[in-house]
Structure 1
Amino acid sequence: MLPAAFAFTGWEVAAALLAALGSAFVRGLTGFGMAILLVPILALTLVPIEAVLLANVLSVLIGLAEIRTLVRKAERSAWTIGALVVLAVPVGMLALLATPDPLARLLIALVALSAFFAVLLPRRAAAMPGLLATGATGLASGLLTGFAAMPGPPVVPYYVGRDIPRDVAKASMMLVFTIASAAGLVSAVAMGVLSWRVVLLGLLLFPAVLLGNWLGHHASGRIADPLWRTFVGLTLAGAALAALLKLLA
């Protein structure tokens, strides 16, 4: 029996637990995808703002657990993108609060689907993009962090789409996502929309995230680039399509 103050049903906790484990595995495997997979699934049973904030809580916790490695390996562009994300997150969160729940669920599912197409983009040269592309990536990522806890769709093609080492791409994306999620939580606290029950649920799910992330890291070194790109693309597409079909049913 769950405490009354917790206010989540057993079904909601079970669904969140499975979603956290699976999405964390994808994060460990690829360096991205946790929020893109997690939020559409959570939004089917939770209020969208709670789904977004729960994903932010989990992203911050797992990011802090790896912060020394991320800072050491990340490309310097991650700090520029992260700073712009911080500026744009409150705007995205205000947009989410002003959007009716059914429409917000639909938009979140569509954002997840867009990540599938981002993964399919052809690779570019390893050179760091210019200030305009970097700035646009940071602002778009911040807006999506506030609205859907999904900084990934703009950030993934920025790093994965370039011919740079996989560990650099993964560390850079994870660092941006940690900064983005922390900014989302700070904005939520300032707006008075972060509840203790969301934080408690995040702490409850964190062991599953740690396990999934460890399993993903373990598998990452054994999978060739074309295979993991295909795996992630299909997983992202499946999660987004499942969310869309649920909304249209």
Structure 2
Amino acid sequence: MELIAEFLAGFTSVQIAIAVAATLGAAFIRGLTGFGFGILLVPILALALTPVQAVLAINIMAGLLALTEIRLILREAERSALTIGVLVVLFTAPGLLALDATPQDIARLLIALIALSAFFAILLPKRGAQAPGPVTTGAVGISAGLLTGFAAMPGPPVVPYFVGRDIPRMTAKASMIGIFGLAALAGIGSGAAIGVLEWRTIALGLVLFPLVLLGNWVGSLAFGKVSDPVWRACVGVVLGAAALAALIKLI
């Protein structure tokens, strides 16, 4: 505990308070929808921390959470999730390098715009249940990998790919959880490899993780009690609110 306290000494009390409140709320939404953790949390944490710190702390929490749900992923996820997940792993490092080289104010603006793009993508007409072809699937995987590194947000291309199709919501949720778990682990590994993963960022992620478990558990309980149309409406509301909040804070 003393070691963690020493690492967290670099963060102010305001930064930690923002991180706690935002993490709990984002974890609840993640439990309800299967996504939204990074989309909601990065724009908020990036206002209190550096964008790189925010992205890597979220990747630590998201990666640990995905490991607790491995049974659900293996049982319910669509096969295309594996293809997308592999591509995400391969293209995360270039995205993180781009983030590290981008001025912080510009990075925060781009992250907010990425969140906004996901909202508009989910408004597209609903498609059939059949998975898109290899070109579309590959493009989703590559773009999700780049966005994982740059913003801890593989969601903008991945969410419309699954939620925008007429497939069972449990299949969509498990597929997204699996991809986002691989994305988070890839982000952690890439951050360590290029030398931007700090010990205090790891400590922050570990300290906040119990809140992630709590919020995700409560959200999962709500997931089982809402109808499919309500669930899909929640997805759109979450994406829109996250994008709007991020843009307002920047203005």
Q: Which residue of 1 aligns with 2:158?
A: 155
Indicate the RMSD between aligned Cα atoms, in angstroms.
1.4
Deviation at 1:240, TM superposition (A): 2.0
Of 190, 195, 208 in structure 2, the residue corresponding to residue 192 of structure 1 is 195
Q: What is the distance in 2 between the residues matched to 1:38 and 1:115?
A: 14
Percent same amino acid at aligned positions?
A: 61
Alignment-mate amino acid for residue 7 of structure 2: A
Q: What is the distance in 1 between the residues matched to 2:219 and 2:24?
A: 10
Q: Which residue of 1 aligns with 2:51?
A: 48
Q: What is the distance in 2 between the residues matched to 1:116 and 1:224?
A: 21
Q: What is the distance in 2 between the residues matched to 1:239 and 1:40?
A: 8
SS of the equivalent of 1:44 reads helix
Answer yes or no: is the 8 Å Cα contact 1:119–1:229 preserved in 2: no
Q: What is the distance in 1 between the residues matched to 2:75 and 2:109?
A: 38
1:117 correspondence with 2:113 = no
Q: Which residue of 2 aligns with 1:179?
A: 182
Alignment-mate amino acid for residue 105 of structure 1: R
Answer yes or no: is the 8 Å Cα contact 2:81–2:179 preserved in 1: yes
Of 125, 129, 132 in structure 2, the residue corresponding to residue 129 of structure 1 is 132
1:5 correspondence with 2:1 = no
Q: What is the distance in 2 between the residues matched to 1:117 and 1:226?
A: 18
**Structure-1-length-normalised TM-score:** 0.96
Q: Which residue of 2 aligns with 1:81?
A: 84
Q: What is the distance in 2 between the residues matched to 1:39 and 1:141?
A: 15
Deviation at 1:117, TM superposition (A): 1.5
1:140 correspondence with 2:143 = yes
Q: Please say which of residues 3-12 and 42-51 is displaced more in the overlay.
A: 3-12
Deviation at 1:14, TM superposition (A): 1.2
**Structure-2-length-normalised TM-score:** 0.95
1:25 correspondence with 2:28 = yes
Deviation at 1:4, TM superposition (A): 4.6
Q: What is the distance in 2 between the residues matched to 1:166 and 1:231?
A: 12
Q: Which residue of 2 aligns with 1:242?
A: 245
Q: What is the distance in 2 between the residues matched to 1:165 and 1:242?
A: 30
Alignment-mate amino acid for residue 54 of structure 1: A
Q: Which residue of 2 aligns with 1:168?
A: 171
Answer yes or no: is the 8 Å Cα contact 1:81–1:176 preserved in 2: yes
Q: Output one character per residue of 1:159-217: Cα deviation in whole Å (capped at 9) or x when no partner.
A: 10111111111000000000011111111100111111111111111111111111111
SS of the equivalent of 1:163 reads coil
Q: Output one character per residue of 1:63-106: Cα deviation in whole Å (capped at 9) or x when no partner.
A: 00111211221111111001111111111111101110000000
Q: Alpha carbons of 1:110 and 1:152: their partners in 2 closer, same or farther (altered >3 Å)?
A: same
1:108 correspondence with 2:85 = no
Of 52, 63, 67 in structure 2, the residue corresponding to residue 64 of structure 1 is 67
Alignment-mate amino acid for residue 167 of structure 2: I
The aligned length equals 248
Deviation at 1:3, TM superposition (A): 3.7
What stretches of structure 1 of length at least 5 have no aligned partner? Answer: none
Alignment-mate amino acid for residue 130 of structure 2: A
Alignment-mate amino acid for residue 88 of structure 2: V
What stretches of structure 2 of length at least 5 have no aligned partner? Answer: none
Answer yes or no: is the 8 Å Cα contact 2:163–2:232 preserved in 1: no
